[in-house]
Amino acid sequence: MAQRHLDPTDPRSRHAGPVPTGDALAGYLRAQATEFLRALRLHRETGSGAGGSEGSTDAARALRRSARRISASLHTFQSLLDTDWCEGMRPELAWVSGTLAMEHAYTARLERLLSALHRLSGSTALPGQTTAAAAGTRAGPAAGSRAAGAARVGGGGPPARAKPSVGEAPRDAGLPTDPTSAPERGNLTVGAAKAGALLDRQLNLARTRAHSTALQALGSSRFHAIADKVAVLASEVPLTKTASTTDLRPLASAAEGRLTDAVAALPLVTAGNPYNASALVHGLSPDTVPHPQDAPWHQVRLLLRLHRYAREAQRGEPNGNAVVDLRLLSAGQALNHHRDASEAAAAAAQAARTPRIAPATAYALGVLHADQRHEVEAARFAFQQCWQKETVSTS
């Protein structure tokens, strides 16, 4: 895990020290390539049976992680690198991380939807699921009661006092989130149970297919060619001649500028106004997924990631020692939740189109869809709150 240094008082201090050049980029790329190879070795060692062991899941995550970082650096700092090599490498790395991501995505989506069905049925969510599926916008019971104690209305402070920061979601008594209560699986309604079974069937099928595709991909000659190129990159980065004297910062700033522009185009005023009900505006529209209104947020999610990786590279910090900006991280998490909830809502809507389902099943899927669209709205609100804090504290 990355070691975290939080310096909220002066985020500009990241530019202190010597000017980062192409050499820092080369160091970063070598470290990421080494990490890629290490994860690949680990993945082969831990096996790759259907469902995947914990080790192979971790290894696949680490593979995706370094593939994303290499690909992002090739994008942001392309002018410092051999052009042909960059253009050949980037789509291949995107293919690797995209293919490996699918299995995990289906697993997480199913977990999120089943957890939501339990929550909506008033039954206790399975332990671990609540936090996994809803962390960030909804804290677990322990954090909730802690925050509730701290934020208890005293009647004294201004209205903003009770506002939680991202990741805090105080819950009062009366909700079935008592950490001591045992998980109950039995008390779903017929509709919720049938909806759960339907989603389980559909998403497990998709997950199994994704697993086979990933296995096939990892055994393909296309993947072996990529692994060979990454092995070369681990020792030799194809920098241009002028790269080692070129300042990385203007290129990193350009990445930040693209992010800032994209954020400025988001409907943040709406997002910052709780219960604006905009995420569900097309909840019953005849169009199939994805929601067009989600696209700019997904785009910002990608640009935020590019910005974050550009900062990592610019500092020349090897992986595992990166200085993490917690605000960027929580803004990114909000956008991840946005994406997850958006896709989960789409999966619920899609399942409702299954022919010959019972009305009770369809009703439960409708409630579930709307619930996930509201999670989309909640994630936008959380992002707006992070982003505003950032703007205020750096200006």
**Residues of span 351-380 touching its own copies by CB under 8 A:** 352, 357-371, 374-375, 377-378
Type of residue found at 217 = A
Of 84, 153, 221, 235, the one binding its own copies (CB under 8 A) is 153
Residue with tokens 């019971």: 141
Q: Restricting to residues 75-134, which ones interact with its own copies according to CB under 8 A?
A: 117, 119-122
Q: How far is the CB of 99 from its own copies (least distance, A)?
A: 33
Q: How far is the CB of 71 from its own copies (least distance, A)?
A: 30
The answer to whether residue 327 forms part of the interface with its own copies (CB under 8 A) is no
Integer-rounded Cα Rg, in Å, for the chain is: 23
Q: Which is nearer to its own copies, 188 or 230 (CB)?
A: 188
Q: What is the 3-state secondary structure (H, E, C) of 183-231?
A: CCCCCCCHHHHHHHHHHHHHHHHHHHHHHHHHHHHHCCHHHHHHHHHHH
The answer to whether residue 9 forms part of the interface with its own copies (CB under 8 A) is no
Instruction: Find the largest Cα–Cα distance for the chain.
Output: 68
CB–CB of 70/93 below 8 Å?
yes
Q: Which is nearer to its own copies, 27 or 366 (CB)?
A: 366
Q: Restricting to residues 234-293, which ones interact with its own copies according to CB under 8 A?
A: 267-270, 272-278, 280-286, 293
Please give the Cα distance from 181 to 114 (Å, whole number): 19
Q: Which is nearer to its own copies, 311 or 374 (CB)?
A: 374
Q: How far is the CB of 393 from its own copies (least distance, A)?
A: 10
The answer to whether residue 8 forms part of the interface with its own copies (CB under 8 A) is no
Please give the Cα distance from 264 to 180 (Å, whole number): 44
Q: Restricting to residues 175-234, which ones interact with its own copies according to CB under 8 A?
A: 175-176, 187-189, 191-192
Please give the Cα distance from 281 to 303 (Å, whole number): 26
Q: How far is the CB of 370 from its own copies (least distance, A)?
A: 3
